[in-house]
């Protein structure tokens, strides 16, 4: 039986939530059924190497900006050599390019995963993306119920076009280890404004008043690193805060933590939360976006309002000072990820979407 030629198209080669999901799908798909490729619009980051390790062809156009037309034109000779059955795009810039490519290339199936609506709601790219989602005849996968609601309410997308598939992770990769006496609190996210690192830093002095020996690990790279380091200096907490930059060994880092914190002010779901809970860590996170779909307040972790360092600090201290409560939440959190946010579930549901769409297109293409 002929393999299905599947091409993933994404915007950047850095590794964040969307990119981790692409890697998870590539790893989990049945390679006897699918021939998989990855096309990246910009950058030369770690996503390229990680995808190649999984044995697929990876091409990067290396666009210098969203409007780098010269680099974008390289997509045409690349696609002339391909016969693509399914084009699956991630992130809104790729969605726009994908919609144009689908029409030019006459690709049978075009599918878009929405990891959240664009931050710049009134930018030309955002408005163009919303128009494509409303008008184009293709399915959209939403990674959380919150994203689905926003697609309907703000993007004006018809509900029947949207398929809800929660992000999932390979739970077996994450493990708990025996903790030492040192208290190490961590967060893992790109250093961008929406991740709320500044509020975590502002909460640290209060935490240190309660438990002075506490250390904080800020894992991730991004445009705000210098600003956040300067803020740590002003708060006089540099001895207790470590900025690690980008790290590959996330499972090993999580295994060393006592507690995980995600202080985001915007979050479609939170892959790092799933990974922390799979590790068996108690978590504190903000009550926004898709996070409440992952963290059940007072059951698998504590939820706090965004942009509130005082309440965030109090929640952190509550779990640090109530180890039995924290342990029970951690156990419940691991169980929740295994049951609801497992990679196998995500891959199975995504493959079901592919197969369903293939079935609908079968009569249109006798060679399929």
Q: Mind listing the pLDDT tens digit for each residue in 138-163?
A: 899 999 999 999 889 887 889 999 99
Q: Can you tell me the distance from the alpha carbon of 342 to that of 90, in angstroms, rounded to the nearest whole number?
A: 20
- Residues in the chain with pLDDT values less than 50: 362-368
Query: What are the backbone dihedrals phi and psi of residue 164, each rounded to the nearest 5 degrees, phi first?
Result: -85, 115
Choose the CATH number for 171-340 among 3.90.1010.10, 2.40.50.100, 3.40.50.2000, 3.90.1150.10: 3.40.50.2000
Strands lying side by side in the sheet with 241-245: 241-245, 215-219, 184-188, 259-262, 283-286, 302-304
**Domain ranges in the chain?**
4-168+342-364, 171-340
Following DSSP, what letter does each residue of 218-286 receive, concatenated? EEB--TTHHHHHHHHHHTT-GGGEEEEES-S-HHHHHHH-SEEEE--SS-SS-HHHHHHHHTT--EEEE
Give the pLDDT confidence of 161-195 residue by residue, as tens digits: 999 999 999 999 998 876 767 899 999 999 999 99
> Is CATH 3.40.50.2000 what the domain over 4-168+342-364 is classified as, yes or no?
yes
pLDDT at 367: 35
Per the listing, tokens 């190490």 go with: 184
The reply to whether 171-340 shares the fold of 4-168+342-364 is yes
Other CB atoms within 10 A of residue 119 CB: 11
pLDDT at 119: 61
CB neighbour list of residue 356: distance below 8 Å, 6 or more residues apart: none
**3-state secondary structure at position 350:** helix
Query: What are the backbone dihedrals phi and psi of residue 8, each rounded to the nearest 5 degrees, phi first?
Result: -90, 135
Paired tokens of 30: 């049945």
pLDDT at 363: 38
pLDDT at 198: 98
């Amino acid at each position: 039986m002929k393999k299905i030629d599947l091409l993933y198209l994404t915007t950047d080669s850095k590794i964040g939530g969307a990119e981790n999901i692409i890697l998870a799908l590539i790893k989990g798909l049945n390679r006897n059924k699918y021939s998989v490729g990855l096309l990246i619009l910009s950058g030369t980051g770690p996503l390229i190497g990680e995808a190649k390790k999984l044995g697929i062809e990876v091409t990067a156009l290396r666009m210098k900006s969203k409007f780098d037309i010269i680099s974008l034109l390289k997509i045409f000779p690349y696609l002339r050599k391909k016969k693509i059955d399914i084009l699956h795009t991630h992130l809104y810039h790729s969605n726009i390019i994908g919609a144009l490519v689908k029409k030019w290339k006459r690709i049978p199936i075009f599918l878009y995963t929405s990891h959240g609506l664009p931050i710049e709601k009134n930018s030309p790219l955002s408005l163009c993306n919303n128009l494509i989602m409303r008008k184009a005849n293709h399915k959209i996968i939403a990674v959380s119920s919150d994203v689905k609601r926003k697609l309907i309410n703000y993007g004006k997308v018809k509900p029947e076009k949207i398929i809800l598939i929660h992000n999932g992770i390979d739970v077996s990769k994450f493990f708990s280890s025996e903790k030492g006496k040192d208290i190490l609190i961590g967060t893992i996210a790109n250093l961008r404004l929406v991740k709320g690192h500044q509020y975590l830093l502002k909460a640290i002095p209060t935490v240190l008043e309660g438990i002075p020996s506490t250390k904080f690990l800020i894992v991730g790279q991004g445009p705000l690193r210098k600003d956040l380091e300067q803020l740590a200096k002003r708060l006089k907490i540099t001895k207790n805060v470590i900025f690690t930059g980008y790290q590959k060994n996330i499972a090993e880092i999580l295994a060393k933590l006592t507690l995980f914190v995600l202080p985001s002010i915007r979050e479609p779901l939170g892959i790092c939360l799933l990974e922390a809970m799979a590790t068996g860590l108690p978590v504190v996170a903000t009550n926004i976006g898709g996070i409440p779909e992952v963290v059940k307040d007072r059951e698998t972790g504590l939820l706090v309002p965004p942009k509130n360092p005082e309440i965030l600090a109090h929640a952190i201290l509550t779990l640090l000072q109530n180890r039995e409560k924290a342990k029970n939440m951690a156990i419940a959190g691991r169980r929740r990820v295994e049951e609801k946010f497992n990679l196998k579930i995500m891959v199975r549901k995504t493959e079901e979407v592919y197969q369903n769409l293939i079935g609908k297109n079968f009569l249109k293409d006798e060679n399929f």
